[in-house]
Each structure stands twice: as structure tokens, then as C-alpha cells.
Amino acid sequence: MEEAPEHNNIELIYEYTESRLKLSLDNINSLNTRLGLSIGFAVLLMRFGIEMEYPNLKLLLCLTALASIAASLLGIAGNESGQANTIDDLLDNFYYDTDERIRLRVVRTLKEGIRDLNNSAYFKKWCLNYAITFFAIAALLFASGVIYHS
């Protein structure tokens, strides 16, 4: 009697890992976009704040807007690259391996890369939260200057 071939789910695991990688990369791209927008809004608010008549309020507004910009830049500059197999590594060392073994190797490496991307996304979210907080304070300072001037 013939032995049944060993069954594994590496193809399903590989496809799932690819989808998780795509989600992580999309999350990073979305965070980078929001961080870039927060820089633009903070610069715009600072531009309007410079024309305020009250020097102390102007200084506070500019400092909080700068803090927002700094938090956004810190988030954008974060390292988002995860680990990955190089094509040369796969060609040189795993060319004659079975599809299952190569997929397993790629999945194991991508697992670490996805973890790195998720850590980077967490840091970017943290920076974005601080950028938004500083921006909100600057916006309140600007609004109070407009109200006081009226």
C-alpha cells in the first residue's frame, strides 16, 4: 500500500502572510500620509499665527506648532523596513529546494519583517498622537487670539 503524501498548509500560510504584509505596509503608508498632512496644517497655522498682535500668544502658538511639526518629522523619519529574503540569497542557497521549503523560509522571514513594520506603525501612531495634541493646543491659542482681538 502506498503512503499518502504529507499534507501541509504552507500555501495557505504563505498567502495569509502576504495579506498581513500588505495590511502592515498600507498602515505605514496611511500613517506617513497623515504625518505629512499634520506638518502642512501646523505650518499653515504657524503662518497665520505669526501675524497675531499679541507677542506672548504668538510665541506659544509658534512653539506648539513647532512641537507638532517635530513630532510629525520624528514619525516620518522612523524606520519602517522589515526583514526580507534577498533574491540573490534565495537563488544562491535555495534554488533546488522544494516550493514548500522556500515558501516556509519566506514566511518565517516575513513574520519578522511584519513584526518590525507593526512596531514602526506603533511608533508612528504615537508620534501622530503627539503631533495632533500639539496642533490642537496651537489651534486653541490661535482661536483665543482671534476671539480676544474681536
3 located within any domain? no
73 located within any domain? yes
Tens of pLDDT, residue by residue over 4-63, are 566 678 888 889 999 999 999 999 999 999 999 999 999 999 999 998 888 999 999 999
Mean pLDDT of the 77-97 span? 69
- Sequence-distant contacts of 24-33: CB under 8 A, at least 24 apart: 24/82, 24/114, 24/117, 24/118, 24/121, 25/117, 27/117, 27/121, 28/80, 28/117, 28/120, 28/121, 28/124, 31/75, 31/121, 31/124, 31/125, 31/128, 32/75, 32/76, 32/124
Full-prediction pTM beyond 0.85?
no
Tens of pLDDT, residue by residue over 100-121, are 888 888 888 888 889 999 999 9
Boundaries of domain holding 60: 10-149
20 located within any domain? yes
- Cell numbers placing 14: 504563505
1 located within any domain? no
pLDDT above 70 (res 84)? no
2 located within any domain? no
94 located within any domain? yes
Structural domain tally of the chain? 1
Which of residues 83 and 45 earns the better pLDDT score? 45
